[in-house]
Structure 1
Amino acid sequence: MSTSLRSAVFTALIAAAAQAVPAQPAGALKKPPRGGKVVKLPAVAYSTRADAMAFADDLAQRRDLDPEWVRRALGDAKFLPTVARLMQPAPSGTPKNWRVYRSRFIDPVRIAAGVRFWQANADTLARAEKEYGVPAEIIVGILGVETIYGQQMGSFRVIDALATLAFDFPQAHPRAEERSQYFRRELEHFLSTEKRLGADPLQPVGSFAGAMGMPQFMPSSWEKWAVDYDGDSKVDLAGSAADAIGSVANYFKGYGWQAGMPAIYPVSLDPARLDKEALLAPDILPTFSVASFTAKGAVLPPEATQHKGPLALVELQNGDDEPSYVAGTENFYVITRYNWSSYYAMAVIELGREVKAALERAGS
């Protein structure tokens, strides 16, 4: 998922994932690829909706699919009031707080689970880092933040979630029509992929936004970036840790990850020459050369002064306390393509670092 739409969906997903469950041994991570406990569904099916059936007919024609198959699949989808409710925007005026956000993801449960996952999949992580240039700790950070390495992959039928958000997105949302169109496209990707694979579209389960597997890929990302990394001739992002690892690495490489480049540098601000307004104007988009960055009052450590690419000043608010700041590189921006949020990207980076440090301590 890309741009602000992915941000809205995954902001909600992050809040849902914040309730940690006791870690399970990652070495035993071979769950049913499309299984899980499915939530109880209401009886209202989209087969009764003229707009949904018209969408099915149009999709079948455009994608050259069997119209009866598409109608049956979409017609069996159920409206889920819970999904619609979870997509409501956060109350206005809710302050951002990096320290609180961080505490949801950098905790003993995820760190311990991450160490077990890394130990169980060390060879695959090393292979992905070599082939795609994406550090193992970043991949581990993503999978830990998203699903605690497969422990929380969601329990909603994907077809129900996508249909609900495609045809009944909450109208109170300020961008309801834009979001509804986005989820219609995701529904199209999902049904097209399921038909191409000869799979049952009523079986996959995932998040309330329709994201699937350990990396919580939306259908469009699954279609574009998912890879068979364990060589068994199928892509299984829920049951195969290797496929999840390779797919996340492929996603980042596709969005321009540069091997060997740090994602962030420490930064402090010099009040005497600080032009914070100018530094924050581009938001998280790397814009400034090292020279222009420092000229506007940003102070970098010696190793960062040799950085060749553009930088961004990333502000992380801490409620009523002073914000925290880092210098974000182009690789930091790539992480935000997974979820357009600097808080999310920092959680991924810091969880990966903590897991790596804990792994090193365990091996010492």
Structure 2
Amino acid sequence: MLKTVSTAILLIAACAISASAMAQKHHKPAKSRAAAPSPNAAAPIGPAYATRPEALLFADDLAERRNLDREWVRQAIGQARFLPQVPKLMLPPPKGTAKNWRVYRSRFIDPVRIRAGLRFWQDNAETLARAESEFGVPAEIIVGIIGVETIYGQQMGNFRVMDALVTLAFDFPAAHPRAAERTAFFQRELEQFLSLTHRSNVDPFEPRGSYAGAMGLGQFMPSSWVRHAIDFDGDGRVDLFNSPADAIGSVANYFIAHGWKPGMPTHYSVQFDADPARVQLDELLAPDILPTFSAASMQAKGAVLDAAGAQHTGPLALVELQNGGDAPSYVAGTENFYAITRYNWSSYYAMAVIELGREVAAARAR
């Protein structure tokens, strides 16, 4: 049965990063930090942003709007270091690169992740069951997310989050087709991160994460940490780095906020009418993964749903998973499939999460 999260828990999430995740706690970074920065284990590092006028103007504006100490914000942004490899990692694959679901799947559904997922589920069975009961998000979906994101905490990222976010806020690659939009996104994430660390009395140079600035077992961006991270272990703080319980509850809370409907399947199998003339594939694929069609309207366009899918009462989307030079795979995605893509905007990602969770559940049943 779905329950609401208490206001008190949400307030904790909005104003705290766990001190245990970051050893040092300072409102002002040490002035020597720019000269001797903590290394990014993944990378060479470039110059500091103290010489970039646009970065310091952004710092001044942020400090005024957020009522933060101006000097603290200027030092934090000015001491951040450019990471030359990070903008390259943001570029999409070259045009003509074929997508391949089978290859993508093999990266995430393998014996290593399944074994790690089984251990994670066994170690956190009670917490996963509680999250499923309170939020209505199946344990296997939560297990799938944490497994795909970090192999259950084994790979949470070695980039200093501050460096990654500043690099992407001011040096996002202009060659990206949505460069302006993504630049604005990372500037907002930088603002959220600095506001969060300032409120929590945490050194912003301590947290490590992905090259995009995502943190913890579930790889939450700063805005998601502020809005959706919760204290699910009841110790009075939110720690997505070291508390599996907080990570489990936060992932479930994220899904509820993004439209997860308890009890609804994620997808149904789908075939096509034997007469190709009856299959309106372009029309079925036009909305992409946004659920738009009723079961009846989908079938009227030549899709053949399984028995459960034909009885589905909500909107559906035809999801295409390309397989390189082979024929694509198709499923009929529900609103819950779409909710998974709000974590990462990719149908391939969503299917990997679903299938990893199922494989771990099957291993647990055995």
Letter aligned with residue 301 of structure 1: D
Q: Does structure 1 residue 303 correspond to structure 2 residue 308?
A: yes
Q: Does structure 1 residue 357 correspond to structure 2 residue 345?
A: no
By how many angstroms is 1:119 displaced?
0.3
**3-state SS, counterpart of residue 267 of structure 1:** strand
Q: Does structure 1 residue 198 correspond to structure 2 residue 201?
A: yes
CA distance in 1, matches of 2:67, 2:56: 16
Contact 1:214–1:238 (CA under 8 A) maintained in structure 2: yes
CA distance in 2, matches of 1:347, 1:264: 13
| TM score, norm. by length of structure 1 | 0.88
**Structure 1 outlier segments of 4+, above 4 Å:** none
Contact 2:46–2:84 (CA under 8 A) maintained in structure 1: no
Contact 2:22–2:202 (CA under 8 A) maintained in structure 1: no
Find 2:260's aligned residue among 217, 232, 257.
257
Contact 1:37–1:155 (CA under 8 A) maintained in structure 2: no
CA distance in 2, matches of 1:86, 1:293: 38
Aligned residue number for residue 215 of structure 1: 218
Equivalences for 1:8-19 in 2 at 5 Å?
Answer: none
5+ long unaligned stretches in structure 1: 1-31
Contact 2:169–2:184 (CA under 8 A) maintained in structure 1: yes
Equivalences for 1:1-364 in 2 at 5 Å?
Answer: 33-34=21-22, 38-39=40-41, 42=45, 44-272=47-275, 273-361=278-366
Letter aligned with residue 294 of structure 1: Q
CA distance in 2, matches of 1:88, 1:202: 25
**66 and 92 in structure 1: CA distance in 2 versus 1, 3 angstrom threshold:** same
Letter aligned with residue 293 of structure 1: M
**327 and 43 in structure 1: CA distance in 2 versus 1, 3 angstrom threshold:** closer
| TM score, norm. by length of structure 2 | 0.88
Letter aligned with residue 162 of structure 1: L
By how many angstroms is 1:84 displaced?
1.9
CA distance in 1, matches of 2:289, 2:348: 11
**105 and 43 in structure 1: CA distance in 2 versus 1, 3 angstrom threshold:** closer
Contact 1:252–1:335 (CA under 8 A) maintained in structure 2: yes
Cα displacement string for residues 67-117 of structure 1 (whole angstroms, at most 9, x for unaligned residues)? 111111112100110112212221111000000000000000000000000
Contact 1:141–1:349 (CA under 8 A) maintained in structure 2: yes
By how many angstroms is 1:340 displaced?
0.9
By how many angstroms is 1:41 displaced?
5.2
By how many angstroms is 1:169 displaced?
1.2
Cα displacement string for residues 116-170 of structure 1 (whole angstroms, at most 9, x for unaligned residues)? 0000000000000011110000000000000001111100000000000111112
By how many angstroms is 1:37 displaced?
8.2
**3-state SS, counterpart of residue 356 of structure 2:** helix
**3-state SS, counterpart of residue 125 of structure 1:** helix
CA distance in 2, matches of 1:271, 1:190: 54
CA distance in 2, matches of 1:209, 1:81: 13
What number of residue pairs does the alignment pair up?
A: 330
Question: Aligned-residue CA RMSD in angstroms?
Answer: 1.4
